[in-house]
């Protein structure tokens, strides 16, 4: 699944994403820190994994990475 960065706080490293359906879902600092990324910018496209139904209340982003780079590839 893909989403667009809606907000990102570089201090807390948490933020939110907009799904292609228009729903805004938050992501925790832990998901960002596990991604291996150093920074995100508003409008950036990401591949994501979420827990449960993407349209349900309480949906959590469990993993995120840059579109086009495989989940197991290291970003240098």
pLDDT over 70 at 53, yes or no: yes
Question: How many residues does the structure list for the chain?
Answer: 76
What is the mean pLDDT of the segment spanning 57-66? 84
pLDDT over 60 at 75, yes or no: no
pLDDT of residue 32: 93
Measured between alpha carbons, how far is 5 from 33 in angstroms, rounded to an integer? Answer: 15
The closest of 5, 3, 35, 42 to 20, measured between CA atoms, is 3
Answer yes or no: pTM beyond 0.85. Answer: no
- Decide: 31 and 61 in contact? Cβ < 8 Å: yes
Q: Which fold has domain 2-66?
A: OB fold (Dihydrolipoamide Acetyltransferase, E2P) (2.40.50)
How would residue 73 be classed by pLDDT, with cut points 50, 70 and 90? Answer: low
Residue 60: Cβ within 10 Å count: 14
Domain residue ranges in the chain: 2-66
Residue 28: Cβ within 10 Å count: 15
What is the mean pLDDT of the segment spanning 28-53? 90
pLDDT of residue 74: 59
Radius of gyration of the chain (CA): 11
């Amino acid at each position: 699944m893909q989403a667009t960065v809606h907000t990102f706080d570089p201090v807390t490293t948490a933020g939110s994403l907009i799904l292609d359906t228009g729903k805004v879902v938050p992501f925790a600092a832990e998901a960002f820190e596990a991604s291996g990324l150093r920074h995100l910018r508003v409008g950036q496209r990401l591949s994501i994994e979420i827990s449960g139904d993407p349209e349900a209340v309480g949906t959590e982003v469990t993993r995120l990475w840059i579109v086009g780079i495989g989940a197991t590839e290291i970003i240098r």
